[in-house]
Structure 1
């Protein structure tokens, strides 16, 4: 625990969720992970959570405070409606894990708040691309599910000079912040982090040093942002200007490429040239018809000094946004 939190702090990570598989302790994470002194005394904001491990797949829980995880574990093979009722009563943020894997989330997506769309640094196996397709299917059905990242890193972080063992086989590539889930939090607290995650104020980058993606919409043409990721408004029938911004990251010596997705299909492709940080496009969301927009950014990978091998397996994906929603039934 101390090594993991120390790496997070060294990489500039503000918050962290360590979601141990709950089946290793019979669901009793409250007296294991959550009471570890290095968890309780971490200078990084720690979220309370676990990987909910069931016969119907895996999910992650996130909470700003301790909650009754034991009951959730005991309900793991129960009816979805009773599971969802407990999740709501406890105020748990429940997220569907690795939806395209063999142990994919096999419950109703109506009981979750988010879905893991970027699972680990590795892109070559196609799991991340498949997860994005499933996310688009959920969004097209009218579910405004937040897309998040998760390293799915199963290891103990080796000590300096220690040879990775079977317990740390993923450490050279999958580690803290591969990928990094950025949240627009209203203050520096666990409550604000979970609230942002629930409300879709989220983008995902390849690692903590990669550019952060921001995606806004200017509804009235005054040059100011009126919508951010996670927002839902009624379309007016007028054209909307969308801003795609890359914030921080390394000097932009090569171009970045933006793929704009609307309702699951590519709407347009844009380029952010070296020395620039913004791309702009315009579209007219239809009146009275659901539409969402999200963006993906590819380009030169960014070195993660503490986890250098992640650059070798991460491919060209740099960042992805959460959607801007028009005419969805529930507003954030």
Structure 2
């Protein structure tokens, strides 16, 4: 029998090292929030969504990073001379990733990088077989992420090619549950693939308030931060964001005012954190204490339900409230067998005044965590 021990109380909330492998000493870092799927006027299917509007909005709302991912096929792969070279692509407050949406006949892939990369070369390889694309990704030194894997432009490449999956696309949660099934299948296969979100927003706001009138549903309900991706970065720069995203050191919330779910593991019950979501540990046949925290909870009366998913199945459901946003449970990961644990949080949606209809479209899904892994082979 699996022993479940639910406790609410004070926790040591530090984080762990960023290497995938066995548990490592705790290292300092910083939580950062952002959006990793956005389109500006350099994508032909947008309205007035200029680079400057996106960045100024994000600055005003306190975001820390952005990936403006214009369609590379709209500019014939020349993103480096469009989005990145746009005079408005600058900020003293937000980390701006070199990014684009690789838009192919076999699906869409977001590319994130801390440095400029050869987007035209990648575009020229759109029809290449996966066996050639995997070394190309490594040669470019970029992070690749499978976009909306089960939607209209579904992902059709090998999941060995990507570092992460967009499991939460836009504020319309109803279209995302199939993506979670795909993600769980990939995790059960032994792949350590991180989860991320992205608003996939294509439409900006009119410059003048008097022109805002009856705006389209997307502009009112889906814009920067719906959903919000959180990362725990070793440093507050481009490489820090990309590394944290790659290693799964982060989670997703419906909007920036919903709780950020944090997930940690204490191997020996000494009260010290040995791993955080995204880390891979060796099971030793002894019980592990898992620690959950909902940070940034802005609704003081809120009651949340945390679903613990073990290897794709429900392991437990824990009640957590905003005034005591912490819980623990214990389980014994099996020896010599891969296993993973991740979290789904449901409850009331926080208002996001800058995008007033967003909360109504996310149903009760509030947040998702990346997994804590056991006995995975990081080289797989």
Scaled by the length of structure 1, what TM-score is found? 0.96
Q: How does 1:29-178 map to 2 (within 5 A)?
A: 29-41=79-91, 43-124=93-174, 127-161=175-209, 162-163=211-212, 170-178=218-226
CA distance in 1, matches of 2:232, 2:322: 26
CA deviation vs aligned residue, 1:204-252 (integer Å, no higher than 9, x gap)? 0111111111000110101111110111011000000101101123143
Mark the runs of 5 or more structure 1 residues left unpaired by the alignment. Answer: none
Residue 250 of structure 1: aligned partner: 298
Contact 2:205–2:212 (CA<8 Å) still a contact in 1? Answer: no
Give the alignment partner of residue 10 of structure 1, picking from 54, 60, 70.
60
CA distance in 1, matches of 2:239, 2:136: 19
Contact 1:234–1:327 (CA<8 Å) still a contact in 2? Answer: yes
Give the alignment partner of residue 279 of structure 2, picking from 231, 242, 251.
231
Residue 218 of structure 1: aligned partner: 266
CA deviation vs aligned residue, 1:52-78 (integer Å, no higher than 9, x gap)? 100001010000111011111110111
Contact 1:17–1:47 (CA<8 Å) still a contact in 2? Answer: yes
CA deviation vs aligned residue, 1:228-279 (integer Å, no higher than 9, x gap)? 0111011000000101101123143021000000000000111003521112
Residue 24 of structure 1: aligned partner: 74
Give the alignment partner of residue 180 of structure 1, picking from 228, 233, 242.
228
CA distance in 2, matches of 1:143, 1:225: 24
Contact 2:249–2:277 (CA<8 Å) still a contact in 1? Answer: yes
Q: From the superposition, tell whether residues 331 and 185 of structure 1 become closer, same or farther in structure 2 (CA, over 3 Å).
A: farther
Tell me the SS of whatever aligns to 1:172. helix
Q: How many residues align?
A: 329
CA distance in 2, matches of 1:165, 1:74: 42
CA distance in 1, matches of 2:92, 2:222: 21
Contact 2:297–2:322 (CA<8 Å) still a contact in 1? Answer: no
CA RMSD of aligned residues (A): 1.6
Runs of 4+ in 1 over 6 A off after TM superposition: none
Higher relative contact order (CA 8 A, sep 6+): 2
Give the alignment partner of residue 263 of structure 1, picking from 293, 298, 311.
311
- CA shift at 1:193, angstroms? 0.3
Contact 2:294–2:322 (CA<8 Å) still a contact in 1? Answer: no
CA deviation vs aligned residue, 1:37-59 (integer Å, no higher than 9, x gap)? 11134531100111110000101
Residue 312 of structure 1: aligned partner: 360
Contact 1:4–1:157 (CA<8 Å) still a contact in 2? Answer: no
CA distance in 2, matches of 1:85, 1:228: 29
Contact 1:252–1:276 (CA<8 Å) still a contact in 2? Answer: no
Scaled by the length of structure 2, what TM-score is found? 0.84
CA distance in 2, matches of 1:26, 1:164: 35
Mark the runs of 5 or more structure 2 residues left unpaired by the alignment. Answer: 1-50
